[in-house]
Amino acid sequence: MIHEPEVLIIGGGPAGLSAARQAVKAGCKTTLIDDAFDLGGQLVKQTHKFFGSEMEYAGVRGIKIPEILLDEIKDDSNFEYLLRTSATGYYEDGVVTALYENNEMLKFKPKKLIIATGASENTIPFVNNDLPGVYGAGAVQTLMNVYGVKPGEMGLMIGAGNIGLIVSYQLKQAGVDVAAVVEAAPKVGGYWVHASKIARLGIPIKTRTTILEAIGKEKVEGSRIASVDENWQPIPGTEQTINCDFICLAVGLYPLSDIFHLAKCEMKYVPELGGEVPVRDWEMKTTIEDIYVAGDAGGIEEASSAMIEGALAGLSAANALGKEPEDYNNVKCQLINELSELRCGPVGDHIRCGLAQCSMEDENES
Amino acid sequence: MNPNIENSGIPSKEQIERTLPSKERREKGPYVVIECWQKIPCNPCVKACPFGVIQPMEDINDLPVTDIDKCTGCGLCISLCPGLAIFVIDETYGEEDQALVMIPHEFVPIPKKGDLVQALDRQGNYICDAQVVRTTQNKSNTTVVHLLIPREFILDVRAIKP
Domains and CATH numbers, chain A: 2-120+253-365 (3.50.50.60), 123-249 (3.50.50.60)
From chain A, pick out residues whose CB is under 8 angstroms from the CB of B155. none
- Average of per-residue pLDDT values in chain A: 96
Strands, sheet with A209-215, edge to edge from the N-terminal-most edge strand: A209-215, A222-227, A240-242
> How far apart, in Å, are the Cα atoms of A92 and each of A96, A109, A263, A279?
10, 11, 7, 19
**CA atoms A282, A286, A290, A293: torsion sign:** negative
Among A97, A77, A79, CA closest to A87? A97
User: pLDDT grade, residue A366 (50/70/90)?
Assistant: very low
DSSP A181-218: EEESSSS--S-HHHHHHHHHTT--EEESEEEEEEE-SS
Task: State chain B's mean pLDDT as an integer.
Answer: 96
pLDDT tens figures, B123-138: 999 999 999 999 998 8
- Taken in order A87, A90, A91, A94, is the CA torsion positive or negative? positive
Closest partner residue to A52 (CB to CB) among B41, B47, B107 is B41
Inter-CA distances, A210 with A63, A85, A159, A205, A250, Å: 32, 38, 9, 12, 12
Cβ contact B8–A58 (<8 Å): no
A153, A156, A157, A160 alpha-carbon torsion, rounded to 10°? 130
Is A194's Cβ below 8 Å from some Cβ in B? yes
Q: Is the pLDDT of residue A51 over 90?
A: no
Percent above pLDDT 70 for chain B: 100
Of the candidates A172, A199, A346, the beta carbon closest to that of B10 is on A199
Count the neighbouring beta carbons within 10 Å of the beta carbon of residue B22: 10
Q: Is the peptide bond before A5 cis (omega within 30 degrees of 0)?
A: no
User: pLDDT (tens digit, 9 = 90+) per residue, A69-109?
Assistant: 999 999 999 999 999 999 999 999 999 999 999 899 999 99
A44-56: burial string, b at 16+ Cβ within 10 Å, e else: bbbbbbbbbbeeb
Q: What is the C-alpha to C-alpha distance for residues A180 and A157, in angstroms, rounded to an integer? A: 6
**A229 vs B145: CA distance, rounded Å:** 43
- Is ipTM > 0.85 here? yes
pLDDT tens digit string along A146-174?
999 999 999 999 999 999 999 999 999 99
Of B48, B60, B124, the CB nearest to A341: B60
Which residue in the set B36, B44, B140 is minimally distant from A193, CB to CB?
Answer: B36
Residue A125 and residue A69: Cα distance in Å, rounded?
39
Distance, in angstroms, between B70 CA and closest chain A CA? 23
- Which residue type does A121 have? E
Burial class (CB in 10 A: 0-12, 13-18, 19+), A327: exposed
Q: What is the DSSP letter of B90?
A: E
Residues of B in contact with A198 (CB under 8 A): 9
Sketch the domain layout of chain B as residue ranges. Answer: 29-160
Assign domain B29-160 one CATH number from 3.40.50.2300, 2.70.210.12, 3.30.70.20, 3.40.190.10.
3.30.70.20
Interface check A285 vs B, CB under 8 A? no
pLDDT tens, residue by residue, B88-113:
999 999 999 999 999 999 999 999 99
What proportion of chain A, given as a percentage, has pLDDT over 90? 94
Q: Across the A/B interface, how many CB contacts are shorter than 8 Å?
A: 134
A319 — pLDDT class (breaks 50, 70, 90): very high
At B152, the amino acid letter reads: E
Q: Residue A94: what pLDDT?
A: 96
Residues 6+ apart with CB under 8 A from A21: A69, A70, A72, A73, A311, A314
**What whole-number distance in Å separates Cα of residue A95 and Cα of residue A79?**
20
Please give the torsion angle defined by the CA atoms of residues A208, A209, A212 and A217, in that order, rounded to the nearest 10 degrees: -160
Q: What DSSP designation does B18 have?
A: T
Q: What is the mean pLDDT of residues B15-24?
A: 96
Work out the average pLDDT over A290-302. Answer: 97
- Predicted confidence at residue A362, as pLDDT, reads 54
pTM assigned to the model: 0.95
The answer to whether the beta carbons of residues A227 and A209 sit under 8 Å apart is: yes
For residues A165 and A190, the answer to whether their CB atoms sit within 8 Å is: yes
- Asked if A195 and B44 come within 8 Å (Cβ–Cβ), the reply is no
Q: What is the mean pLDDT of residues A183-209?
A: 97
